[in-house]
Amino acid sequence: MNAMDVKWLSSLPEAVGGFLKKMRGPAGYFKYSLSGDIYGPDVFWGLGNTVFAAKIIRTLDIQAGFDLREMAVFIKKFQKPDGNIYDPLVIKKSALVNFINAISRADTANIFGRQVIRAETRQAFRALSLLGAKPDVPCREVPADTEKIKKYLQGLDWTKPWAAGSHFNHLLFFLKYHRDNFGLNPAAVDEAIDFALKYLISLQSSQDGFWYRGSPTLQEKINGAMKIILALKLVDRPAFRYAEKILDGCIEAASNRQACDNLNVVVVLKYTNDLLEGRYRQAQIKDFCQQRLQVYAKHYYPELGGFSFFLGKANYNYYGARITRGLNEPDIHATALFLWGISLLSRIGGLGLETRTAELLP
């Protein structure tokens, strides 16, 4: 890859900073897409939008141009007495879709959107950390003893490893967060994490290295692995078995259509390569990462400074809720994801990338 291929990366801090300022609204609110949002700041919504803005700001180290305290106050407006932080409009607009999906999958744990609420809460807690703040109260629904954790883990559908891995990640995140910020007993947290990791070991396939049950697709396995590997890093247990096989799966993965998949495969490859200390399939890794950047560039709007979730189309569906018209323009969600992917790619040896981005765990 020559300098001409990647010169657009050096302009990202300024360009994306300009895009984010266009997305900024009153009192900590940010738009989701540039011009196609169905709802505006006059409606009480936009939690996820401000969460993504916080990630972009910290990834690019552009805090000076934004009011971080105002953003934190906005996020905390969504917190409920039980500690959950979620967007009521998203929950309302996604209720029917999530109910139908839960019934069709016999997923009684998510009939009323509980898993969506948990996911939003986890994202909001992390965003507050990036903004130098914390929630007023802990999330009271997090299981902390081994019996409840066993029930929690057994209640996840591991034939769908992306979703199950995501909620495994949530569990470990909240255990660590509550220990560090709300005084949860460290010995109890260590015991709970050890129990969860033993359960995780039982799910890992010796054939391909991924964590699942049944016969999910390779992309599902990679997406699930992304959530699990990040959880291991969050609790300072970054080692895992069969790293070579997982890396093989990443290299074999087909080109993906949207921002989550484009990010997930890079996350898994990056941290698997770290574990192997850059000693395995380096030529293929370099080629793969160069191809990823070419995909990323197709999602980028240089004149606007943002990325679109789909090729030529902003994301329109957030946790099952229709929130934009899906116009040919960038959105804040994809911009956060692609920037994170670029920050990881720039840290994979041999690519020769120079980008002013931070490597942040989500």
Higher-confidence residue: 55 or 345?
55
pLDDT at 276 over 80: yes
- pLDDT given for residue 354 in this prediction: 58
The residue-averaged pLDDT of 211-225 equals 95
Residue with tokens 């509550």: 178
- pLDDT given for residue 96 in this prediction: 76
Contact criterion met (CB below 8 Å) for 252 and 273: no
Which of the four pLDDT bands, split at 50, 70 and 90, describes residue 350?
Answer: low
pLDDT at 337 over 80: yes
Residue with tokens 């990823």: 292
Contact criterion met (CB below 8 Å) for 165 and 172: no
Angle, helix 47-60 to helix 12-23, in steps of 10 degrees: 160
- pLDDT given for residue 7 in this prediction: 79
| Euclidean distance between CA atoms 220 and 280, whole angstroms | 23
- pLDDT given for residue 352 in this prediction: 59
Question: Does the global pTM surpass 0.95?
Answer: no
Beta bridge partners of 79: 85
The encoded tokens of residue 58 equal: 């910290």
pLDDT in tens, 114-173: 888 999 999 999 999 999 999 999 999 889 889 999 999 999 999 999 999 999 999 999
Comparing 62-76, 99-113, 221-235, 273-287, which segment has the lowest mean pLDDT?
99-113
- pLDDT given for residue 115 in this prediction: 83
pLDDT at 33 over 60: yes
The residue-averaged pLDDT of 24-29 equals 97
Which of the four pLDDT bands, split at 50, 70 and 90, describes residue 5?
Answer: low
Percent of the chain residues past pLDDT 70, beyond the cut: 90
Contact criterion met (CB below 8 Å) for 79 and 133: no
Higher-confidence residue: 232 or 360?
232
| Euclidean distance between CA atoms 248 and 253, whole angstroms | 9
Q: State the average pLDDT for the chain.
A: 90
Which of the four pLDDT bands, split at 50, 70 and 90, describes residue 347?
Answer: confident
The two counts, helices (H) then strands (E), for the chain are 14, 4
Residues 6+ apart with CB under 8 A from 132: 68, 72
Higher-confidence residue: 192 or 254?
192
- pLDDT given for residue 288 in this prediction: 87
